[in-house]
Amino acid sequence: DAAIHSKAWYAATCDRKTAEDALYRSNKDGSFLIRKSSGQDSRQPYTLVVFYNRRVYNIPIRFIESTRQYALGREKSGEERFDSIAEIVENHQHTSLVLIDSQNNTKDSTKLKHIVRVS
């Protein structure tokens, strides 16, 4: 997805800790950025990092080889698929994104509102 590199919300050379620190500093619900995934796995090339309710969520963005599309989180039936990363961002600026806390087994939701730039 070459178009991603020109986007304000894409933090190209950002690791997980740097992304999380930047979002904690922003301290605004709905703050977000997209970074390369740590694992360098072609099936999960990027991670959507979102701040909500004093927490940072790292949501994997999967690449589905068979359809050349992207999806968020773990594979599930009836999941939303997108033709580009930008489409995911645009969609969730208008539609709430479900945030799942696997440790406490709670669900929240927020829209992507504030682009965070990593300095």
Please name which of 88, 76, 79, 93 lies closest in space to residue 45, comparing C-alpha atoms.
88
Q: Which residue has the higher pLDDT, 41 or 116?
A: 116
- Which of 3-7, 12-16, 44-48 shows the highest mean pLDDT? 44-48
Rounded to 5°, the CA angle 99-86-96 comes to: 30
pLDDT tens figures, 43-60: 999 999 999 999 999 999
Question: 3-state DSSP call for residue 49?
Answer: strand
- pTM (2 d.p.): 0.93
Place of tokens 């790292």: 58
Please name which of 96, 85, 100 lies closest in space to residue 34, comparing C-alpha atoms.
85
Flag whether pLDDT at 79 surpasses 70.
Answer: yes
Q: Give, as one character, the DSSP assignment of residue 96.
A: P
Q: Which domains does the chain have, with CATH numbers?
A: 4-114 (3.30.505.10)
| Average pLDDT across the chain, whole number | 92
Rounded to 5°, the CA angle 50-56-60 comes to: 60
Q: Which residue has the higher pLDDT, 42 or 94?
A: 94
As a whole number, mean pLDDT of residues 24-43 equals 91
Q: What confidence score (pLDDT) does residue 1 get?
A: 61
Q: What confidence score (pLDDT) does residue 61 get?
A: 96
